Amino acid sequence: MCRRKLILLVSSVFASLLIAVAGEYDCDVAVIGGGSGGFGAALAAARLGLDVALVEKADCLGGSSVRGGVNCWEMAVGTTGIPFDLYKELKRLPNAVSIYSFGRHGGTFDPKRETFRYPGGETVSDPGRRYLDTLQRYVPRGDKNTPAYRREHWHGVPFEPEAMTKTMRALLDATGHCRVLLNTAFVAADASEGYIRSIQLSNGTRLCARYFVDSTGDGAVCAAAGCQMMFGQESRNRFNEPDAPETATRRVNGVTLIYRATPVKELRIEPLPEAISAKCWWTKNFPGAHVNHYPNGDLNINMLPTMEGDQFMRLGYNAAHAECQRRVRAHWHDWQVRIEEFRRYRLSWIAPALGVRESRRVVGEYVLTENDLLAGLSGQKHPDIICLADHMMDTHGGHSKHRGDLIEPYGVPYRCLIPKGYRNLLVACRAASFTSLAASSCRLARTMMQMGQAAGTAAALAKQLNVDLPAVPADRLRAALRQQHVQLEHPMPAALRAYLEKE
């Protein structure tokens, strides 16, 4: 073991002992939740020298990208900062990461070239592509938006979850400033007058920090601190969103239990466990799925969705998870029975965590709405944009009646990360201040990581300037992010392109 690694190991063991003995622990910034947003926040703050504690209730880092089985970064503008660093590290490991191109799609079935209609969409590794190719989503309107165009322009980043979690940890450890507390849940917050004073952890520790970042995915810290939260679809009048329903509803995006299939030598239909019906649980057909090839050739199968959001809310997480496990078996069985190609694989893994796309969101100093998405960067007038996004509005399930694709990237203002009225708390995860429609576009993993990078950088600036988080000057924050190679302009500046070309 090299000397640096040994020192880090000793210091993190020492930190854990200190916490266990003292029951109280102090740091500059406490990041709660170690998914994409939390990782970005912790790494940015630790790289800038802050003493960081990263609290994660599961036994590994990565959140939805690892335990939820979401093994792929969809194409997304602006994800040039920490996500690119992570990609470069992953590239050093065998079969850890690749770039995909669009493959077959049921909607564009061509009987002359294909033997069956693909039961959804497929993306396949394409060794000729680069990270730069994955940095654009928005699609042209009209005639140009063809399958051929999509094949040429749609690229994303599939990865091996095990490599992802290890690499995240290695990057954090390399800073020498981040204590990672796994198997440790946030339980309660002591908050008053717009400040969180301390938080209580499941191991009995009281964690004090000057700044806090909520990256729990569902805004658990914000909710416990008494921040105003949103849930479900907002009414059209509330934010004047043209595609919002007339009256508010409790509907949320559908949930998916992702599973993996591995090639086998002999063709075989795996028997369905006796207690599970081969019939579809929905009135018509089994849902389509997105199939994305892992770098090693295994299949990642992402039903769109496994369960409607309403049913998920009615059942609660545990019952919904159990039901989705049955649905995975039935779905796979249906594919194997109907399509010979899938008999060349066996179901090898079901994600341990249900993939939840949408839950509660905080009301921040600014609420990002569909109007921001439709205006695009050229039409937005915000002085504090800290990351770009361009994914289509994308609700999985029965309520996806909106215009979908965007024609230009848009920006996320720093104020979306500041819960309204709070002074030392930021939210860097899919629970940030977005309406339901904006969240359906903005929630991609790399976008969350970029928001995390902005949150960690803002905390470092706040400490340096000795101010509260809302007082961090937007121009200083944006300048610091540009220095870290974050894209804030569109089209991409030439110098940034040149930097990315050197992958």
Ligand X SMILES: Cc1cc2nc3c(=O)[nH]c(=O)nc-3n(C[C@H](O)[C@H](O)[C@H](O)COP(=O)(O)OP(=O)(O)OC[C@H]3O[C@@H](n4cnc5c(N)ncnc54)[C@H](O)[C@@H]3O)c2cc1C
Residues that bind ligand X (CB under 6 A): 32-38, 55-58, 63-65, 68, 70, 72-74, 185-186, 215-217, 220, 256, 258, 302, 355-357, 429-430, 443-446, 448
According to DSSP, residue 255 is labeled: B
Q: Which two tokens stand for residue 413?
A: 């203002």
CB of 445 to ligand X, least distance (A): 4
Nearer to ligand X, 208 or 272 (CB): 208
Neighbouring residues of 268: CB distance < 8 A, sequence distance ≥ 6: 343, 346
Nearer to ligand X, 50 or 75 (CB): 75
- Is the bond into 491 cis (omega within 30 degrees of 0)? yes
Residue whose structure tokens are 């979401």: 70
Nearer to ligand X, 70 or 207 (CB): 70
CB of 334 to ligand X, least distance (A): 19
Nearer to ligand X, 272 or 454 (CB): 454
CA distances from 369 to 320, 364, 432, 437 (A): 30, 12, 12, 7
Nearer to ligand X, 217 or 379 (CB): 217
- How would DSSP label each residue in 304-347? S-SB-HHHHHHH-HHHHHHHHHHHHHHHHHHHHHH-GGGGGEEE
Nearer to ligand X, 107 or 383 (CB): 107
Of the chain, the end-to-end C-alpha distance in Å amounts to 28
CB of 157 to ligand X, least distance (A): 9
Alpha carbon distance 243, 270 (integer Å) = 44
CB of 345 to ligand X, least distance (A): 20
Nearer to ligand X, 357 or 463 (CB): 357
Alpha carbon distance 13, 425 (integer Å) = 28
CB of 473 to ligand X, least distance (A): 26
CB of 179 to ligand X, least distance (A): 14
- Is the bond into 305 cis (omega within 30 degrees of 0)? yes
Alpha carbon distance 174, 8 (integer Å) = 8
Angle at 389 between CA 388 and CA 392, to 5 degrees: 160
Alpha carbon distance 303, 360 (integer Å) = 22
Which residue is closest to ligand X by CB?
35
Nearer to ligand X, 78 or 277 (CB): 78
CB of 278 to ligand X, least distance (A): 24
105 backbone dihedrals φ, ψ, rounded to 5°: -150, 135
Contact 41, 456 (CB under 8 A): yes
Backbone Cα Rg of the chain: 22
CB of 144 to ligand X, least distance (A): 24
Nearer to ligand X, 69 or 413 (CB): 69
- Name which of 358, 421, 365 is nearest 227 in CA terms: 421
CB of 76 to ligand X, least distance (A): 7
Q: Could you tell me if residue 298 is left (phi over 0), alpha (psi between -120 and 50 degrees) or otherwise beta?
A: beta
CB of 39 to ligand X, least distance (A): 8
Nearer to ligand X, 272 or 392 (CB): 392
Neighbouring residues of 87: CB distance < 8 A, sequence distance ≥ 6: 97, 131, 157, 503
